[in-house]
Amino acid sequence: MARVLDVRNLSVTYKNKNKCVYAVSNASFSIDQGDSMGIVGESGSGKSTMAMALLRLLPRKKTVVEGEAGFLGQDLLHISDEQLDRLRWKNLSVVFQKAMNSFSPVHRIGDQIEDIYRIHEPNATRKEAHGQAAKMLALVNLNERVYKLYPHELSGGMLQRVMIAVSLLHEPDLLIMDEATTALDVVTQGQILGELRKMESELKTSRIIITHDISVVSSSCNKIAVMYAGSLLESGHVSEVLARPAHPYTKGLLAAFPPLRGQRVVLESIPGYLPDMAARHEGCIFAARCPEAMEKCKSAAPARTDLGNDHFVSCHLIEVEKQ
Amino acid sequence: MSGNYIEIKDISKFYPVKGSGTLLGGKGSRKLVKAVNGVSVGMAQGEVLGVIGESGCGKSTLARLLTRLETPTAGDVFIGGVSTGKMLEQDAKKFYRTVQIVFQNPYDAFTPRDTIEQLLSRPLKNHGICPDRASRHERCAELLESGNLRPAEDILKRYPHELSGGQLQRIAILRAMSLDPAVIVADEPVSMLDVSVRADIINMLLEQSASKKVTVVFISHDIALTRHVADNIAVMYLGRIVEYGAAQTIIESPLHPYTQALISNCASIDIADRVEPIRIDGEPPTPIDPGPGCFFADRCPVAEEICFREYPETAARAGNHRVACHKA
């Protein structure tokens, strides 16, 4: 399968006058055509920062982005602005959590969709644009009627769905959804995720979905990446990582989620707090909260270990086991 | 049903719609938003009742009615056979001691200018539980210790902004518990918090309520979590309870088509547990004039002619299971 996105050693540092915040450090992952990857982590774990860095949406003066991000043969982090503009919407699109607030209140939804369509298809007729928009609106379970409405006439959930439809207009190779369905109702969210899955198998698009809800990932993605305090601790196929989590943090997260069916279990928290991201950490970033931490964990950062079948984990315990 | 410790009887809350009706009064033509529309449910002492539903179904209004932050349009709540409406008239303090609430956002639930000690001791002072300062201080420290907030002496001196969301929410629960209430209404108590600290809050809420035999009304849109917490679950749709029963029954064999759709669309972390989501079209209709038939009829996959004509009676099923549907 063709590789769509190949991120290597991505680091993002926020800088201001007197301190640096290391928001993402050394993240590496890759996405193949047709893959859907869920990036999970708690608030402050750097998952949104990572997405923003890939899209080059972070303020240039205040951030330092290092590493590589190969996307369809180009390096997203190093191409010129013009080259990037050609990719945006067309090959790479994004939906944010509060995307519904980004509509202009004084233009009809349909006109706004057409504008976006024309960026990459400047010669498209009104009919073509309308046809494509109607197709995508149907995909997110919206009536074509919204085309003629103004944003204030729709509910937040409906606007969010319009935004998802807009992001799909050009049938992009990669769609990034940053908590895009979090604010929606369970039923709507379930339906949109179902439609996206169906569409992905038809159009061969790939998707990155950023969320704090593992259940969304387990039901709609084939790959998962677990982030904690700016580090990617574990990544791999959903079927493998959720069934046999290797990293203590992943195990902890799973124990904190109640299952929907079956026996009721005792929920367990992970004690402690996120570390100070403004300081460099010598050892494993999770060591202070890890129930299985050893001496080594506090002094040396663990390497990324390959467990086979795309399952990667950064933990000393695994390194020891492998030897 | 009459043996219940807490009895919610036909409680309703209607809000007038702005701009409806005629210029010169015309009260009869005024449109109403029926946020909560004749909800009846009973709870035993120490029970945890989960209330689930989509946004706008009236869950939070129900919470506000139970705590009398809103005055019901009709209906009443009885605690141990006593009407809370009467209790509020005769002795408001007693009512507030009986019913306590924990809100969704712990960052907004505390005055930012007071220390935790001031915040925790104010209810103790107002309700005359600990008359002097020294005993209040001691009681506050005890409370924090019982909620695993250590070192208590240090936390008492802090301000809300110096604590994490998880700690604040635990303090909110402890503060509600400090008055020994009969009922605690928890309105989405963990939806603002990170997954890794949620479990602690939930476990603490359950421990505290079990040890003091406090009845909990747990309102949430997280179905998996509600099943974990609750003994019984009530499913709300447009201001009415459409299905009620033991938590396990509701999740595993729901009868109402709405509950079935809701649960089938609920993602599970168990990858082996894949259910094909039931598709329901359209938006939830507005709670203004939802029509004579079943409110869910427009979106219901199995609706028949009768569903559009009359609202279904609530029918009892095995155990305490109740459902309001013509087809179930």
Boundaries of domain holding A282: 3-80+213-322
Q: Residue A240: its pLDDT value, please?
A: 92
Boundaries of domain holding B199: 6-112+159-324
Closest CB from B199, B268, B283 relative to A260: B268
**CA quadruple A43, A46, A52, A56: dihedral, nearest 10:** 160
Q: What is the CATH number of the domain that holds B106?
A: 3.40.50.300
Closest CB from B54, B224, B261 relative to A260: B224
pLDDT digits (tens, 9 = 90+) for A143-188: 888 889 999 888 777 888 899 899 988 889 999 999 888 877 788 8
Looking at the complex, does the CB of residue B206 fall below 8 Å from at least one CB of chain A? Answer: no
* Beta strands A3-15; A20-32: pairing state: antiparallel
Asked if the model's pLDDT at residue A133 lies above 60, the reply is yes
Does a structural domain hold residue A10? yes
Place of tokens 């918090």: B193
For A98-107, A309-318, B23-32, which range has the lowest pLDDT when averaged over its residues?
B23-32
Task: Spell out a b/e string for B18-39, using b for 16 or more CB atoms within 10 Å of the CB, else e.
Answer: eeeeeeeeeeeeeebbbbbbbb
Domains identified in chain B, total number: 1
Mutating which of A139, A261, A270 best tests the B interface, going by the most B Cβ atoms within 10 A?
A261
Does a structural domain hold residue B123? no
Does a structural domain hold residue A167? no
**Average pLDDT, rounded, for chain A:** 88
**Average pLDDT, rounded, for chain B:** 88
CA distances from A162 to A97, A135, A206, B273, B306 (A): 13, 12, 20, 30, 35
Q: A271 CA to chain B: closest CA distance, Å?
A: 8
Closest CB from A186, A219, A260 relative to B221: A186
Closest CB from B268, B281, B283 relative to A219: B268
Does a structural domain hold residue B60? yes
The DSSP secondary structure of B206-220, one letter per residue, reads HHHHHHHT-EEEEE-
pLDDT digits (tens, 9 = 90+) for A246-298: 999 999 988 888 888 878 888 888 888 888 888 888 889 999 889 888 888 98
Does a structural domain hold residue A291? yes
Does a structural domain hold residue A175? no
Q: Residue B27: its pLDDT value, please?
A: 55
Considering chain A, what percentage of its residues have pLDDT values greater than 70? 99
pTM beyond 0.90, yes or no: no
Does a structural domain hold residue A282? yes
Does a structural domain hold residue B171? yes
Average pLDDT of the segment spanning A47-65: 90
**Are residues B267 and A215, on separate chains, in Cβ contact within 8 Å?**
yes
pLDDT digits (tens, 9 = 90+) for B40-68: 999 999 999 999 988 888 888 999 999 99
Which strands form B32-43's sheet, in the order they lie side by side? B32-43, B6-16, B74-79, B82-83
Token representation of residue B72: 């019901």
Domains identified in chain A, total number: 1
Nearest residue on chain B to A188, judged by CA atoms?
A: B265
Asked if the model's pLDDT at residue B20 lies above 70, the reply is no
Q: How confident is the model at residue B2 (pLDDT cuts 50, 70, 90)?
A: very low
- Which of A298-307, B10-19, B114-123 has the highest average model confidence (pLDDT)? B114-123
Nearest residue on chain A to B262, judged by CA atoms?
A: A187
**Are residues A193 and B267, on separate chains, in Cβ contact within 8 Å?**
yes
- For residue A212, which of A195, A228, A192, A189 has the smallest C-alpha distance? A228
Asked if the model's pLDDT at residue B268 lies above 80, the reply is no
CA distances from A66 to A179, A312, B286 (A): 24, 21, 50
Q: Residue A268: its pLDDT value, please?
A: 86
Please confirm whether the linkage preceding B151 is cis (ω < 30° from 0).
yes
Q: Residue A235: its pLDDT value, please?
A: 94
Asked if the model's pLDDT at residue B1 lies above 50, the reply is no
Instruction: Tell me the chain B residues in contact with residue A267 when contact means C-beta distances shorter than 8 Å.
Output: 198-199, 202-203, 228
For A8-17, A71-80, A197-206, which range has the lowest pLDDT when averaged over its residues?
A197-206
Asked if the model's pLDDT at residue B288 lies above 80, the reply is no
What is the complex's ipTM, to 2 decimals?
Answer: 0.78
Instruction: Tell me the chain B residues in contact with residue A253 when contact means C-beta distances shorter than 8 Å.
Output: 195-196
Asked if the model's pLDDT at residue B74 lies above 50, the reply is yes
Q: What is the CATH number of the domain that holds A57?
A: 3.40.50.300
Residues of chain B numbered 14-73 and touching chain A (CB < 8 Å)? 54-55
Contact B296, B289 (CB under 8 A): no
Does a structural domain hold residue B124? no
Does a structural domain hold residue B49? yes
Contact B44, B9 (CB under 8 A): no
Does a structural domain hold residue B199? yes
